[in-house]
């Protein structure tokens, strides 16, 4: 899950915040000592991990253990997995403006008693998406907050907020991490060292960006494996297993068709002399470059197009997939016999 530092299967990566220094260490220390003030404006580039950091701070308010936040107790987990009823998250769906009505709802909510009898937290992300009217409406609550309510305004661009809003919050800037610091949580989340090293130069010190690069690469690697599996079908049982797999995951089937089309296109280019066979590194595809006739490859491309058309027009596209897999199997059987 890109963008989420916390994963139920790994140790909470946020335990390293004090080592990041600057705004991270300062707020972490305040949270541990129970000295958070009532309104923070957390500024930092998109992908620096503002929301995850804010949730880790909030977890310290609800944590049930002596050293807070532990990241493991029921309360910490509720906050980190965004299931804490006393934490209201005001987000901008698809980067759309956050209207004044949403702020009115929040004000009504925080005027009531909290569910757990303790603190309530409101998190805005990104705060610059609040319309000017919404910001003005929020101003009063920031000036004179209800007891035990904390506000976290997260912003990629703190300068875009009304000055009156910014002046009522403590501004804390969150800087990108060094590569050395980024490696720790990424390794803890289970990414292979070589993949992490490949992603770091493209991450710019932003944990969110590093995760986006890594999850793209993981998805691409899975897709390559699946395409190879399809191209190396040898028996009826292989075709049946693949057919079931693609039937269960339509999103995956779309991407697979595209990947398959690209692979067949490459084989066709090799067969017609437009591309060197040396450029093909994938073993399964190499076999097609050596054995597949231009007619076979053209027929398979046509079968891919046909399957995609069925998919788009909601016709029984599964039949198209099955036919495609059978054609691959037939071609392979022919090569083995010749």
Q: What is the binding site for Zn ion (CB under 5 A)?
A: 63, 65, 69-70, 73, 76
Q: How far is CA 273 from CA 267, 287, 288, 289, 328, in A?
A: 10, 16, 14, 11, 22
Beta carbon of residue 78, minimum distance to Zn ion (angstroms, whole number): 10
**15 vs 212, beta carbon nearer Zn ion:** 15
Beta carbon of residue 53, minimum distance to Zn ion (angstroms, whole number): 16
Beta carbon of residue 83, minimum distance to Zn ion (angstroms, whole number): 14
**70 vs 299, beta carbon nearer Zn ion:** 70
**29 vs 222, beta carbon nearer Zn ion:** 29
φ, ψ (nearest 5 deg) of residue 91: -110, 160
**52 vs 307, beta carbon nearer Zn ion:** 52
**68 vs 181, beta carbon nearer Zn ion:** 68
Beta carbon of residue 81, minimum distance to Zn ion (angstroms, whole number): 13
Beta carbon of residue 288, minimum distance to Zn ion (angstroms, whole number): 55
């Amino acid at each position: 899950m890109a963008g989420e530092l916390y994963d139920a299967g790994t140790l909470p990566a946020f335990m390293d915040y004090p080592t990041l220094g600057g705004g991270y260490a300062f707020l972490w220390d305040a949270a541990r000592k129970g000295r958070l003030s009532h309104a923070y404006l957390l500024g930092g580039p998109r992908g620096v991990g503002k929301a995850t950091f804010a949730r880790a701070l909030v977890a310290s308010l609800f944590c049930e253990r002596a050293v807070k936040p532990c990241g493991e107790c029921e309360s910490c987990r509720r906050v980190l997995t965004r299931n804490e009823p006393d934490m209201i998250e005001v987000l901008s769906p698809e980067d759309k403006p956050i209207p004044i009505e949403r702020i009115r709802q929040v004000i009504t909510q925080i005027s009531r008693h909290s569910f757990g009898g303790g603190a309530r937290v409101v998190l805005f992300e990104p705060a610059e998406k609040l319309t000017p009217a919404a910001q003005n409406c929020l101003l009063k609550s920031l000036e004179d907050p209800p007891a035990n309510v904390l506000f976290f305004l997260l912003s990629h661009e703190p300068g875009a907020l009304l000055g009156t809003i910014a002046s009522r919050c403590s501004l804390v800037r969150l800087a990108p991490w060094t590569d050395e610091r980024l490696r720790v949580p990424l390794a803890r989340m289970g990414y292979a060292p070589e993949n992490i090293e490949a992603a770091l130069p493209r991450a710019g010190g932003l944990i969110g960006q590093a995760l986006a690069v890594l999850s793209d690469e993981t998805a691409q690697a899975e897709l390559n494996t699946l395409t190879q599996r399809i191209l190396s079908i040898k028996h009826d049982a292989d075709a049946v297993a693949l057919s079931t797999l693609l039937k269960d995951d339509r999103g995956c089937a779309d991407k697979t068709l595209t990947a398959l089309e690209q692979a067949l296109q490459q084989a066709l280019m090799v067969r017609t002399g437009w591309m060197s066979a040396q450029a093909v590194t994938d073993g399964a595809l190499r076999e097609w470059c050596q054995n597949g006739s231009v007619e076979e490859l053209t027929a398979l491309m046509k079968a891919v197009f046909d399957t995609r058309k069925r998919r788009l027009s909601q016709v029984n596209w599964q039949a198209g997939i099955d036919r495609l897999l059978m054609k691959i199997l037939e071609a392979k059987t022919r090569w083995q016999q010749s």
